[in-house]
Amino acid sequence: MVVPNNEDRQVKVSVRPLVEYVFRSGDIESGFRTAAALHEGTRIHQQVQKMYKEGDLKEVSLKTEILYEDTVYVIEGRCDGLIQVDNGWMVDEIKSTSSDISHMEEGHVVHWAQAQLYAYMVAKEQGLGQMKIQLTYIQVVTSEEKRFRRELSFAELESVVMEIVSRYAPYAALRIRNASRRDESIQSLPFPFDTYREGQRKLAGAVYQTINEEQKLFAKAPTGIGKTLSTLFPSVKAIGEGLLQQIFYLTARTTTRTAAEQAFELMQSKGLCVQTVTLTAKDKVCFQEKVSCRKEDCPFADGYYDRLNGAIMDMLSSETLMNRHVIEQYAQKHQLCPFEFSLDVAYAADVIICDYNYIFDPRVSLKRLFQERKKKTVLLVDEAHNLVDRGREMFSSDIGKTEFLELQRGYKGKNDRIHETSRAVNQYFIRLKKECGEGKRKLWMESPEELISLLDLFVQEAERELQGNANVELESRPLLLDTYFASQNMIRISKLYDERYVTYAEVTRNSVMIKMFCMDPSTLLAHASKGFRSTIFFSATLSPLHYYRDMLGAGEDDYSVTVPSPFHREQLDVRIEPLSTRYRDREKTKDALVRLLSQMVREKKGNYLIFFPSYQYLYDIYESFMSDNADLRTIVQGQGMTEEEREAFLASFRSDNSETFIGFAVLGGIFSEGIDLQGDRLNGVAIVGVGLPQIGMERDLIKDYFNGIGKNGYNYAYVFPGMNKVQQAGGRLIRSEQDTGILMLVDDRFTQRQYQDLLPEEWKG
């Protein structure tokens, strides 16, 4: 629904969301039902439309205006087909489905409503007194067809349409009220601080200009200028100007989501009235002990859609900043799944604060929800340097043999088709194992077509089984469902496969796996942000800028801005210690390194963080360090720390610690980014090594790929990502104008020109 910044009380709404809102009912389904239908939908639509006769029309755009109470509803949609009958038309609404339709006796109420709305629009436009309507259902696997027909007079159609609009009207009225309150509040919203901090105005101006000109911006904006507010404030103003309707604030981590929420709290305290929704991962917000979203297992899924509209109206009438806590509260009140509820409310929100994957990950199919407002939406991508590797993960996919062997065994005698299709995949892996040999790898540059075809067959059978549910024993179900999703992802990724991908198989004694690895996510990232009005990629360490522009899919005309640090060079005591930390030299330089670290922390009482390139190196040095410095208080980052352990780690950096305190952590880990230890909570940081990722096959593939397209592959695969980690870790030290501290960089490569050039200006002498 589009609620314009209006005085004329006009509401634009598309047919589908309108009827879905009015008629949705029932339970949450596990999601697999619609997946194949979506995947096959276009093909099936075309297949049916091909059978139309001459004079029949397909994909017909329709529009009508309905006055209800004091509001004009502009309803738009595209009907699948108009078939010529007698002296008029029959609306054909085509639905592909993965459900068993053999026993289907009646069309779905939402589909009838959709078709009747189209029929009304055609009849009104052409002055027809009577319309025929047809629902065509096609089963995606069997291609079975089922048709249902009705005939309605114009008066009957009109009464259906008025009924739909009247049921939608309270929701529309609430949205209009909220939108006008929002717009008024934005008009008078001042910048929430007395003055702009240094650099803040520059960034905010660049963001506004980029939105105004419908461009992309790559912003290197240092810590200390208030990046969150500098991007949010101009975006909010752009809503007030009618340039935008929605803001997505996309983050890699929960902590940065909190920063965005706090920025809205601040602006709200200055009078702003926008509605924000924070999306939290399903497994984190789930109310149940185990995520199992079937109505039989979860009371919050059972009858979810029957209670949804009431809950949305309730929350949107009373709340503005809908964070996790608020969403959980209303979800409990209305007995709704908090995760699905947050997604359904997001559709009506002005601002959505969420993880990158809601926009970029092909596995998350929420995009349809936001399609109609895309052109009036800005994507604010926080800490955008993380999106390179996250993009690689999202666009890559792997699958192993083990699950198929288990399914083959588990379904023997229970479901022959699952047994057979799993066996076929398992056989494929056995052949692959023989071909490669144990302990070996095989690489090829195409998508594994034979495997994809076998997975396709497996997915069809798994879908049938999961849907029918008749033979599924409860224990087998999770494995079947997980393998179904993994297979579907392989199929999906195979459709994206191009020269930026490589496929490899890895054979060990007990397993065989195959992976389609995306070496260069830039094109797919650019594609995912296509159609949005603007995208702002920003980070303190978007450096070197040309590399990040390249990797995040910048076009030649996209904008860049670099904002200098507001901090002074004098706040930092940078020391470069030219000691080799290369793997082969570590034993040799161990004692010297321990001496350097001991000297630094003993020079002045304070809190220190020391970063290492790996846990192994960290533990090794820690042991020697402690044998020399047993009197010092320390804390060590562990692998797989719980949330409480992480909090305890950070909490031990107290500004009133009476003795020197040292944290040992890994570069690129949870404590080297996104933590904020202001003032005396942190007095010194040492970084051991230049952060290069561990040499490995995937990194080497990236290197070779970029070498092959005329770039410096070693820099793209190792040096740039490594030095980014160094910059992030070093950036923990100076968090405000008052902070001072020692930054020790230990590695002889820091003295080389190439690495020197990659250091932030304020670190250079």
Enumerate binding residues for ligand SF4 (CB under 6 A).
Answer: 28, 282, 286-288, 291-293, 298, 300-301, 337, 339
The dihedral over CA atoms of 252, 257, 260, 264, expressed in degrees to the nearest 10, equals: 150
Q: Least distance (Å) from ligand SF4 to the CB of residue 327?
A: 12
Return the closest-CA partner of residue 517 out of 364, 430, 394, 400.
394
Smallest distance from ligand SF4 to CB 38, Å: 20
Residue nearest to ligand SF4 (CB): 337
Q: Which letter does DSSP use for residue 386 in this model?
A: G
- For the bound state, the minimum distance from the C-beta of residue 325 to ligand SF4, rounded and expressed in Å, comes to 16
Residue keyed to tokens 């079947």: 480
Least distance between ligand SF4 and beta carbon 299 (Å): 8
Secondary structure E strands in 159-215: none
In sequence order, the β-bridge partners of residue 352 are: 248, 277
Q: Minimum CB separation from ligand SF4 for residue 137, in Å?
A: 27
Indicate the DSSP class of residue 569: G
In whole angstroms, how close is the CB of 291 to ligand SF4 at the nearest point?
5
Please, what's the largest Cα pairwise distance for the chain?
97
The minimum distance between CB 333 and ligand SF4, in angstroms, equals 14
Minimal distance, residue 281 CB to ligand SF4, in Å: 10
- 578-582 long-range contacts, Cβ below 8 Å, gap at least 24? 578/747, 578/748, 578/750, 578/751, 579/746, 579/747, 579/748, 580/747, 580/748, 581/613, 581/617, 581/688, 581/689, 581/690, 581/746, 581/747
Length of the chain in residues, anyone? 765
C-alpha to C-alpha distance for 662 and 427, rounded to whole angstroms: 54
Which residue, 292 or 657, is less far from ligand SF4 as judged by CB?
292
Residue type, 237: K
Evaluate whether 2 touches 373 at the Cβ level (below 8 Å).
yes
| E strand map for 374-447 | 377-381, 397-400, 441-444
CB of 293 to ligand SF4, least distance (A): 3
**Minimum Å distance from CB 737 to ligand SF4?**
45
383 secondary structure, DSSP code: T
- Cβ-based nearer residue to ligand SF4, 282 or 492: 282
283 versus 475: smaller Cβ distance to ligand SF4: 283
* Minimum separation from the CB atom of position 317 to ligand SF4 (A): 24
- Residue reference for tokens 């991908």: 501
Residue 339 or 538 having the CB closest to ligand SF4: 339
Q: Where are the alpha helices (DSSP H) in 270-415?
A: 282-285, 304-318, 324-333, 338-346, 357-360, 367-370, 387-395, 402-410
The half-sphere exposure of 91 on its side-chain side, counting CA atoms within 13 A, is: 29
Report how far residue 691's alpha carbon sits from residue 706's, in angstroms, rounded to the nearest whole number.
Answer: 20
Q: What does the alpha-carbon distance between residue 671 and residue 660 come to, in Å, rounded to a whole number?
A: 19
Q: Which long-range contacts (CB under 8 A, 24 or more apart) does 670-674 make?
A: 670/637, 670/641, 670/646, 671/609, 671/637, 671/646, 671/732, 672/611, 672/725, 672/728, 672/729, 672/732, 673/253, 673/383, 673/728, 673/729, 674/253, 674/255, 674/256, 674/383
DSSP 676: -
Q: Name the minimum Å distance from CB 111 to ligand SF4.
A: 25
Report in angstroms how near the CB of residue 302 gets to ligand SF4 at its nearest: 9
Contact indicator for 399, 557 with CB cutoff of 8 Å: no
Could you tell me if 135 and 96 are in contact, meaning their C-beta atoms sit under 8 angstroms apart? no
